[in-house]
Structure 1
Amino acid sequence: MDIIEKAERFEQEKTTFKTTSERIEASRKAKELILGLNEVYKQNKEAAIMDLMKRLTVIKQKIEKRLKGRLTV
């Protein structure tokens, strides 16, 4: 399976990760996909790949925000 197809499939999957381990796994998978897409982007310079990387980054940031939790003052 192509890295672009994997990334699109990950983007379409459910994004409700109930447990901490699911969130960690999803964050790592998103990072792996983003880095893989970056290697492809370096060769092709296609705007569609960059857009996909940006969307995955937003998903990854949301997951990591949930992992870190809220700051208590």
Structure 2
Amino acid sequence: MDLIERALELEQRKMRSLSRSDRVLISREAKSLILDLNQIYKREKDQRIMDIMKRLTAIKRKVEKRLKGKL
């Protein structure tokens, strides 16, 4: 599955010294991957897909927290 490969590739990316626009792109890409994987999960109920979605959500939250700054 190309979608799962893209998700695993996003997980492996270096997250150091990213510009603001890089963080926005990562956040958007993670969101779209999570939504697409969710559609597959609804049909197949595969626990591995759920685990990938959880890891992507953690990455997305981390990036968005950095974007918004410390509140």
| 1:18 counterpart = 2:15 | no
List gaps (5 residues or longer) in structure 2: none
Q: 1:17 to 1:41 in 2, by over 3 A?
A: farther
Q: Distance in 1 between matches of 2:50 and 2:66?
A: 25
Give deviations 1:8-54, integer Å, cap 9, x for gaps.
Answer: 11111112252111100100000011011001101110000000000
Secondary structure (helix, strand or coil) at the match of 1:16 reads coil
Q: Once the two structures are aligned, what percentage of the paired residues are identical?
A: 56
Q: What letter is aligned with 1:35?
A: L
The number of residues matched between the two structures is: 71
The alpha carbon displacement at 1:2 in A equals 1.1
Q: Distance in 2 between matches of 1:32 and 1:17?
A: 23
Taking a change above 3 Å as real, the CA distance of residues 57 and 39 of structure 1, as seen in their structure-2 partners, is: same
Matched, 1:35 2:35: yes
TM-score, reference length from structure 2: 0.93
Q: Distance in 2 between matches of 1:39 and 1:5?
A: 16
